[in-house]
Amino acid sequence: MTVGFIALAYLCGSIPFGLLIARWKTGKDVRTVGSGNIGATNVARAAGRGAAIATLVLDALKGLLPVLLAAASTAGHPAPWLAAACAVAAVAGHCFPIWLRFRGGKGVATGLGVSLALAPWGALAGAGVWLVFFKLLRISSVGSLAGVLTTVLVAVFTTGKPEVLGLAAVALLVFLRHKGNIQRLLARQENRGKP
């Protein structure tokens, strides 16, 4: 049963909403536009703001719902490790979706969804930090990385060890998927608005 929940979380995470929404709205493959990413920021370039908002919401929900389902299924006999494992699986599904030959997004919106399930205060703090950094610098990657770190730090003080370790693993995935962005930031070559 545990393996089934984790597999379900991965499959939910791997649904490429950004690709599907952009294709439905414009006929374009979002992977051929801008950065080639399937996340909300690049969907905004390919299909506009409304499509980007829909992608953000659905990408967050595909992380939130499997984690809540896993937590609810063990409510009588809590198994926090299962919810944390499902969180990592959902974000891994977004980053490495089986449907797209394991070439997916960067995990930020799905990470927000799993964070809302595991550490709501951390998720809200992380979202707030992302917004502040993006408004100030107009560089999405800076906001994303700062928001992820904030989420984990706040989770340390507001939730349990399994949840913190799960979110730390999610943060590691997000940072790995932002490797190119980090290299460009260090070289002062990151474009504003680049995901």
DSSP conformation letters of 123-183: HHHHHHHHHHHHHHH--HHHHHHHHHHHHHHHHHHHS-HHHHHHHHHHHHHHHHHTHHHHH
pLDDT digits (tens, 9 = 90+) for 102-159: 999 999 999 999 999 999 999 999 999 999 998 999 888 999 999 999 999 999 999 9
pTM: 0.93
Q: Domain coordinates of the chain in residue numbers? A: 2-186
pLDDT digits (tens, 9 = 90+) for 48-58: 999 999 999 99
Per-residue tokens: 33: 């536009």
Residue 91, amino acid: V
CA–CA distance, 29 with 70 (Å, rounded to integer): 33
